[in-house]
Amino acid sequence: MAEMGSKGVTAGKIASNVQKKLTRAQEKVLQKLGKADETKDEQFEQCVQNFNKQLTEGTRLQKDLRTYLASVKAMHEASKKLNECLQEVYEPDWPGRDEANKIAENNDLLWMDYHQKLVDQALLTMDTYLGQFPDIKSRIAKRGRKLVDYDSARHHYESLQTAKKKDEAKIAKPVSLLEKAAPQWCQGKLQAHLVAQTNLLRNQAEEELIKAQKVFEEMNVDLQEELPSLWNSRVGFYVNTFQSIAGLEENFHKEMSKLNQNLNDVLIGLEKQHGSNTFTVKAQPSDNAPAKGNKSPSPPDGSPAATPEIRVNHEPEPAGGATPGATLPKSPSQPAEASEVAGGTQPAAGAQEPGETAASEAASSSLPAVVVETFPATVNGTVEGGSGAGRLDLPPGFMFKVQAQHDYTATDTDELQLKAGDVVLVIPFQNPEEQDEGWLMGVKESDWNQHKELEKCRGVFPENFTERVP
């Protein structure tokens, strides 16, 4: 019996809920069709809009915060792997090994502490903040249903009020044959029955209206107070959240900076003990000096390329003390045949073979001290013309001087190793077809003054690592 009673109660409750849903659906249809008015509260609707916006912002903040924490954890793992690698390669007999291991341990602890504090002071607070939204959202939806119930009860009561007047008119003036045929005393009973039935329906409708209004107003009043308060609390929450994140990150980087400085000091001590084995970073083709072969090298600091001017000097200037009777070499625009000096002939320096260098120097030593410099035109690093003669202490074919503006590490046996400030004496290529764009042939002035051997000292170098000098 108890089970039957329980089932009966459950069945009755289900039937009641179904009836409420049907009544609400009917009321909403009438409101949409304009056959029933709907209670409006613009202030509350604005609060609901603010609530939805606040919920969207909070959900996004929570998602981004979780992504940030995942990134911190990933960085922790990467830092841990890097420190483990350092510990493996750090040999036991090297100075500072214990300090390096201690720094690695502190680094790991610092990452763990930073991540945990972010969880405690930011993520958990974020979860608590968002935890209140589902309940309020459910209450807003319930208020909407109760508002429909209130409107439905109000419309039902108003319809009964309208029907009461019609019934009173019928009771006061009977029209049915039964009422006319009934005795006088019976007609009074019929009228009393109709009046009582109408009053009962009206009283029930009024009670339902009062009940629905009470439930709705209680929920409405609570939400009218909570929603504005929740909306205003967002400012303080955002301030506290981001202040916590910023403060934790600031302290983390301060402590991490100290650990990095300590590690740097340890490595400096290791470098001092093994300074003779310092590793030299060579320039790579993709960085400072691209590989030869129709590629323009760029200086390491990104400064503009120091490309020599395109100049053709047809009127070489004799140096002080030149013999008036001496015949100057022909300009680059003239055929490179022979330069006549003091009645003698001498082959052009650009046409000399390496084996003829000593003989050329010996022959020129008996000539008057005539110093002539010509500047051949260069287009894209290709020498258009060259001086057949030069200073007596300069290599054959010398064209002009350049000074290195940046360090350059040779990557091939035919290249020059340059340091910033080195002076290079530029000479032409023996085979012009071998010259690549952006590269020059030359010999460092210090090497030439010391060895006077062109074959051993000359090499190619990137033109835009240098700057032309007088």
pLDDT tens digit sequence for 367-391: 444 344 444 444 444 444 444 344 5
Q: Place domain 338-469 in its CATH homologous superfamily.
A: SH3 Domains (2.30.30.40)
What Rg do the C-alpha atoms of the chain give, in angstroms? Answer: 50
Residue 59 phi/psi, 5° resolution? -65, -40
Report the topology of domain 18-273: Substrate Binding Domain Of Dnak; Chain:A; Domain 2 (1.20.1270)
Do 123 and 115 touch, CB atoms closer than 8 A? no
CA distance 120 to 12: 49
Q: Which one-letter amino acid corresponds to residue 32?
A: K
CA distance 310 to 418: 24
According to CATH, where is 1.20.1270.60 located in the chain? 18-273
Measured between alpha carbons, how far is residue 176 from residues 166, 171, 173 in Å? 15, 11, 10
pLDDT of residue 326: 41
- The 10s digit of each residue's pLDDT in 217-263 is 888 888 989 999 999 999 999 999 999 999 999 999 999 999 999 99
Do 99 and 17 touch, CB atoms closer than 8 A? no
pLDDT of residue 184: 57
- The secondary structure of residue 418, as a DSSP letter, is B
Strand, helix or coil for residue 114: helix
According to CATH, where is 2.30.30.40 located in the chain? 338-469
pLDDT of residue 214: 87
pLDDT of residue 380: 41
Nearest to 110 by CA among 88, 81, 79: 79
CA distance 412 to 293: 13
Q: In this structure, how many other beta carbons lie within 10 angstroms of the beta carbon of residue 76?
A: 17
Low-confidence ranges of the chain (pLDDT < 50): 1-4, 6, 172, 175, 283-291, 294, 304-390
Say which residues have a Cβ less than 8 Å from residue 351's Cβ, sequence separation at least 6: 336, 388
pLDDT of residue 152: 83
pLDDT of residue 338: 36
pLDDT of residue 452: 83
Do 435 and 276 touch, CB atoms closer than 8 A? no
